[in-house]
Each structure stands twice: as C-alpha cells, then as structure tokens.
Amino acid sequence: MILIAAADRNWGIGLNNELLTHIPADQKFFRETTTGNVVVMGRRTLESLPKGEPLKNRINIVLTGNPAFKKEGVTVVHSIEELLKEIEKYPGDSVFCIGGAKVYKELLPYCDKALITRIDEEYEADVFLPDLDALSEWSIAEESEEQTYFDLVYHFVTYKKENNNGDLTT
Ligand SMILES: NC(=O)c1ccc[n+]([C@@H]2O[C@H](COP(=O)([O-])OP(=O)(O)OC[C@H]3O[C@@H](n4cnc5c(N)ncnc54)[C@H](OP(=O)(O)O)[C@@H]3O)[C@@H](O)[C@H]2O)c1
C-alpha cells in the first residue's frame, strides 16, 4: 500500500476537517496518481470531500465503525482486518491510503512507500501525519526540485520503508 498526503513543515495535514491549503499542481498529482486505482480513507475524510462524494474513476474504500453506514459508490469496511482482506484483491502498488490522520497512523505499518507533498509553511493544524524523518525505517528515496505556487514553496518527496534486512522495499 502507498500512502499519499500533503503535509506542512510540522507534518500538519488538516484543520476543522479540511485541508490546510489547495495547490493546483498537487491536486493534479494526486488525481493522476490515484485515478484508475484504489483509494482507502476514513469516514471523516470522505465527508471532507466535495459534497461528501467518493472520488471519481477510483475504487473508494471507506473505514467506519458504524455498522449502518452506506454510501453509493463506496465499499465500506469496519476494521483494519476487514480492510486488509478487501485489498487482497488488488496489487499492493495500486492501493493508496489517502487519509486522514487516524487512518494514516493505523495503516502506516502496512505501507511501504509514501508520496508526500511537503509544503514549506507552518499552518494552524489539528491533525498530523507521523514524522517520517524521525522514523528509522523510513527514508527519502527521491525529492523533486523546489516547486512554487505564488509565494508557497513545496517539494514532492518519495519516502520508502526499509525492510528488516536494511534493503529498500520496492
Ligand atoms: N493533507 C492531506 O493529504 C490530507 C488527506 C486526507 C485527509 N486530510 C485531513 O485529515 C482530517 C481528517 O482526519 P481524521 O483523523 O479526523 O479522520 P479520518 O482518518 O479521515 O477518519 C477517521 C474515521 O475513520 C473511521 N476509522 C478509522 N479507523 C478505523 C478502524 N480501524 N475501524 C473502523 N473505523 C475506522 C472512523 O469512522 P467512524 O467515526 O464513522 O467510526 C473514524 O472516526 C481532515 O482535516 C482532512 O482534511 C488531509
């Protein structure tokens, strides 16, 4: 599974169930990377999407503890175990964990790659990603050149998780 997120300097990712900022090139990167693939998200992130609707042209899997939750176009799962069973149907590199904070934290052990748009700003935030730079098993495999959007500076950073032998997983 691949984690995909946009995070600020403090690994902040959202405030009041919304994103911190909208960068068109980042939205395009997210759309192009995930289209035709599987996206896994928490119920709160689904609600934060425009009109609370699932993402088009992608298989949407939503985690919730609510047994009555139903939504057209969404595969609902109620536990990590049920999710892991559901995604066995798909190749690992076609399944993207798209948040939010609770789901990133829970699924990090099952991800071997993380595509992070790292925004060089400090926003007010109430939800955060784990600091991948502080986790010894994660390291930067690739980093884009500096990108700008008006006065915002950001980078596309690919992190990979090392397996127990110290080799980079693919
Ligand atoms: N910057 C980014 O890239 C990015 C990406 C995505 C989201 N975000 C931001 O993140 C924030 C939302 O994150 P969040 O942490 O509040 O919510 P979340 O992770 O999107 O959703 C949490 C909900 O998912 C369900 N859930 C999670 N783990 C579960 C499990 N093991 N079993 C059953 N259900 C489970 C629960 O739903 P129920 O309450 O229904 O039981 C839980 O309340 C928003 O601000 C959003 O904008 C940012």
Contact call for residues 107 and 97 (beta carbons, < 8 A): yes
Alpha-carbon gap, residue 77 to 89, rounded angstroms: 14
The one-letter amino acid code at 111 reads C
Q: Is residue 169 part of a domain?
A: no
Mutate to test the pocket of ligand 1, among 23, 34, 45, 49 (most ligand atoms within 8 A of CB): 45
Establish if 54 belongs to a structural domain: yes
Asked if residue 167 is part of any domain, the answer here is no
Does position 166 have pLDDT exceeding 80, yes or no?
no
Ligand 1 pocket, 101 CB below 6 A?
yes
Whether 111 maps to a domain, the answer reads yes
Full residue range of the structural domain in which residue 96 is found: 2-161
What pLDDT digit, counting tens, does each position of 80-130 carry?
999 999 999 999 999 999 999 999 999 999 999 999 999 999 999 999 999
Domain contains 20: yes
Distance 127 CA to ligand 1 centre (A): 10
| Total tally of structural domains belonging to the chain | 1
pLDDT at residue 21 tops 90: yes
Query: Does the Cβ of 61 fall within 6 Å of ligand 1?
Result: no
CATH code, domain with 14: 3.40.430.10
User: Which pLDDT score is estimated for 71?
Assistant: 98
Residue from 102, 156, 110, 105 nearest 132 by CA: 105
Asked if the structure places residue 141 within a domain, the reply is: yes
Within a domain: residue 168?
no
In a domain, 15, yes or no: yes
pLDDT-derived band of residue 163, with 50, 70 and 90 as boundaries? confident
pLDDT in tens, 47-90: 999 999 999 999 999 999 999 999 999 999 999 999 999 999 99
